[in-house]
Chain A
């Protein structure tokens, strides 16, 4: 017979896993959308390829959220 109260272990690891999983969804979608629209723009107008530097800036803006999630792994006790 299984009693839920008998399950032991550290919940913080579970919490960290859930946080990592859910937290990375948003930035992943964001970076994907930026890359998709950049490739769309280059496909329509190949001269737009010179804006790669600006695209990297926006990727870095989105990436900050992912990095915050990753850093929280070490901050949460």
Chain B
């Protein structure tokens, strides 16, 4: 612990260094390569290697080790999809994308907590690695991909006109329909930015909090940081779950409208549910 204290003393001289933006390390043909991009490449290679290895070793009776965690994770995602979309068939259809997203976000969040990521390794006075999800460009890209795929799936499921009528619901001669429709289309963009900002802010602010408490702790920095590191471990997995959960919810909202035109059926369902609740409570 004393060794750690000696290292943090250097940081304590200048105050905590906090970055919100990723830093450009070098240019390739005028394209800036930032530290979060390098981290993302490492992360993608790692996840491809791990998942291919695990898929090769997949047996009916799991041998334990890493396979177990991957199996538990993908089962969790498929259960989540089954609950949200209704039916195992649809869950298996849309499962691969969301499971990939979950594992990628979880891995890049968790690797961001590793020592060496952040201010430790320096390249030309810039931190060499930065957590991929602690970069607004990255999370914006992830959510753009997610929500475009949701739109694509919805159009494939119910046709373009029907999907458009999902936003412009109601009678077409009524001008209010168009106001509500434009409002709904704006809502889609609000979803996009809120998805991106939520993931980015959670991870970036987690890093800032860890930095600030390492600075405040001075010689006992490992002790003051420990609770926040444990909190961040939870937040990392939770944010991956929340991102996938919210995109699945958006997908289910976009898909489900194709068979909700009969409201009488819904009423019957509701009545039977309330009856069940009343009878179970009494």
Contacts and interface: CB of A to CB of B under 8 A. Distances in A.
Interface stretch (A5-13, A18-26, A27-35, A69-77): A69-77
Interface of B: 18, 20, 194, 197-198, 201-202, 204-205, 208, 238-239, 241-242, 245-246, 249, 277, 280-281
A61 B239 CA distance: 11
B245 A68 contact: no
B249 to A, nearest CB: 8
A64 B243 CA distance: 13
A68 B197 contact: yes
Interface residues of A, number: 16
Nearest to B202: A67
Main secondary structure of the interface of A (DSSP, over half): helix
Contacts of A45: 277, 280-281
A9 B142 CA distance: 43
Interface in A33-71: 44-45, 53-54, 56-57, 60-61, 63-64, 67-68, 70-71
A60 B202 CA distance: 9
A71 B201 contact: yes
A60 B198 contact: yes
Nearest to B249: A57
A29 to B, nearest CB: 19
B204 A71 contact: yes
Contacts of B201: 64, 67-68, 70-71
